[in-house]
């Protein structure tokens, strides 16, 4: 069981940011550190500088929760621009001279919608060179900036929703996507363009949902900057918000004490019957969340073991 050294005076919780274009996710983290006067700040999923939308920022004790997240589904609104190929798979990259509009012109919306069907469900996707993934200890984007290209293995991703609609320009189509974590929307646009035979890039990206949170819950950095310190801290959501999809187990005083002392809790004794590997929210006798637990196999049967304590 992992347990942190906790500074009770430090702000702690989840901050939902509507990231502006032109900033990296790291830039946002730096700004939040200054706004909350703390170094312990992280986030649950990088957004490219050109992208906007939901960035889930973790402050204080919540900063180490990201490794335990099980809700990795995200939703996006993107613009697919056909007739272009770039080295970055988005409209910010260097245009490939092989970008040629077919003699028959760009595909009609019916063609784009038909092609989109083949990208729904579980698909194999090769990560782009301009990404933060590491190969041999080096980030792909660092290799790409020096003109290098390395072999990348395709990874399975899940696209559970992909809707296509017309956009302002004849070359553009609006994509509404819900997908698993690790899905690259830039690569989805490039792959759809390749399948259509005309090339394609991502011209804009806005994340609308992440970790179960949506845009309506987010604050801009500008609005946070206008608040007092106390008002900003009041906007933090509890760490438990990240795990609301998990079942809660309220412990009786005896078992709560055992758990806090690092003991496993056998399911036949606490009257639960979860499957192996299931994660749960462990709560005090008063119903307050204090730790993340996981069902594991022990000598006397299956038991819930606290794997991360968030509250002393």
So which residues are the catalytic ones? 48
Contact 119, 236 (CB under 8 A): no
How far apart CA 74 and CA 173 sit, in angstroms, is: 20
Backbone CA torsion sign across 135, 98, 173, 92: positive
Q: Where are the beta strands (DSSP E) in 20-171?
A: 41-43, 52-59, 74-82, 121-125, 134-135, 138-139, 155-166
Contact 174, 81 (CB under 8 A): no
Contact 215, 60 (CB under 8 A): no
Q: Count of alpha carbons within 13 Å of 247, Cβ hemisphere only?
A: 12
Contact 82, 171 (CB under 8 A): yes
Phi first, then psi, for residue 86 (nearest 5°) are: -130, 165
Contact 107, 172 (CB under 8 A): no
Contact 192, 199 (CB under 8 A): no
Distance of CA 100 to the CA centre of its chain: 35
Residues near 248 by beta carbon (within 8 Å), at least 6 away in sequence: 280, 281, 283, 287, 289
């Amino acid at each position: 069981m992992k347990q942190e050294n906790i500074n009770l005076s430090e702000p702690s919780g989840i901050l939902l940011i509507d990231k502006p274009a032109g900033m990296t996710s790291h830039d946002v983290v730096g700004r939040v550190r200054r706004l909350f006067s703390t170094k312990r700040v992280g986030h649950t999923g990088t957004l490219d500088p050109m992208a906007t939308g939901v960035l889930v920022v973790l402050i204080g004790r919540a900063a180490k929760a990201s490794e335990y997240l099980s809700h990795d589904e995200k939703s996006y609104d993107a613009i697919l621009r056909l007739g272009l190929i770039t080295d970055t798979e988005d409209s910010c990259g260097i245009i490939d001279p092989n970008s040629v509009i077919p003699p028959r012109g760009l595909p009609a919306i019916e063609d784009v919608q038909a092609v989109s069907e083949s990208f729904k469900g579980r698909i194999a996707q090769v990560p782009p060179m301009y990404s933060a993934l590491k190969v041999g200890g080096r980030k792909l984007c660092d290799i790409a900036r020096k003109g290098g290209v390395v072999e990348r293995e395709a990874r399975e991703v899940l696209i559970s929703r992909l809707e296509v609609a017309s956009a302002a320009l004849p070359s553009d189509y609006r994509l509404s996507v819900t997908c698993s974590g690790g899905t690259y929307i830039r690569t989805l646009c490039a792959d759809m363009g390749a399948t259509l035979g005309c090339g394609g890039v991502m011209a804009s990206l806005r994340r609308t949902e992440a970790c179960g949170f949506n845009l309506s819950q987010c604050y801009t950095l500008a609005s946070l900057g206008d608040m007092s310190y106390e008002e900003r801290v009041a906007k933090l959501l509890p760490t438990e918000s990240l795990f609301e999809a998990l079942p809660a187990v309220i412990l009786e005083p005896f078992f709560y004490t055992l758990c806090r002392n690092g003991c496993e809790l056998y399911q036949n004794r606490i009257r639960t019957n979860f499957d192996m590997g299931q994660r749960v929210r462990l709560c005090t006798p008063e119903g307050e969340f204090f730790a993340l637990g996981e069902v594991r196999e022990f000598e006397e049967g299956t038991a819930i073991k606290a794997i991360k304590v968030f509250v002393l």
